[in-house]
């Protein structure tokens, strides 16, 4: 006459669902991937062999260090580029000094454009991962 169906909603699932603990966001697009993923299916990110979470330099620290032109690049592992930015500050400084004399001091503002370019480049450049010379074995 009358049929009743009962469903238990507080029963544990028959197959374990993946939680947020075993997922990681893609470094490029933010799509959630399994923590052991080697590449993202939505963008062109692939995990490199030497990539570690500890080896990432802070972009904010690189920008602050770039108050001395080139120091942020050296911090991120780009020594040659850092020294080029440092030595490039000498002719830029001389030009700014000449422009300051010619413009009653207004030319001093030109150096801030140079500092802005150095800081922007230090923020945008990728970290350089330096491989070690000797084999350290398996890391756990």
- pTM value is 0.51
**Mean pLDDT of the region 96-120:** 89
Report H helices in 8-67. Answer: 59-65
pLDDT-above-90 percentage for the chain = 19
What is the rounded average pLDDT for all residues in the chain? 78
23: Cβ contacts below 8 Å, ≥ 6 apart: 32, 33, 34, 35
| Model pLDDT for residues 23-69, shown as the tens digit of each residue | 888 877 888 888 778 888 887 777 765 544 445 678 888 889 988 99
**What stretch of H or E contains 32?**
strand 32-34
């Amino acid at each position: 006459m009358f049929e009743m169906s009962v469903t238990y909603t507080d029963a544990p699932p028959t197959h374990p669902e993946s939680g947020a603990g075993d997922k990681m966001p893609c470094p490029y697009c933010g799509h959630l991937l399994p923590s052991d993923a080697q590449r993202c299916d939505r963008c062109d990110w692939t995990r490199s062999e030497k990539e570690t979470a500890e080896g990432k330099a802070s972009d904010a620290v690189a920008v602050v260090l770039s108050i001395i032109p080139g120091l942020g690049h050296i911090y991120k592992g780009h020594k040659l580029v850092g020294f080029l930015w440092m030595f490039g500050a000498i002719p830029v400084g001389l030009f700014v000094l000449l422009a300051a004399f010619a413009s009653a001091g207004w030319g001093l503002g030109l150096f801030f454009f140079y500092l802005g370019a150095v800081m922007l480049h230090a923020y945008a450049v990728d970290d350089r991962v330096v491989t070690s010379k000797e084999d350290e074995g398996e890391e756990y």
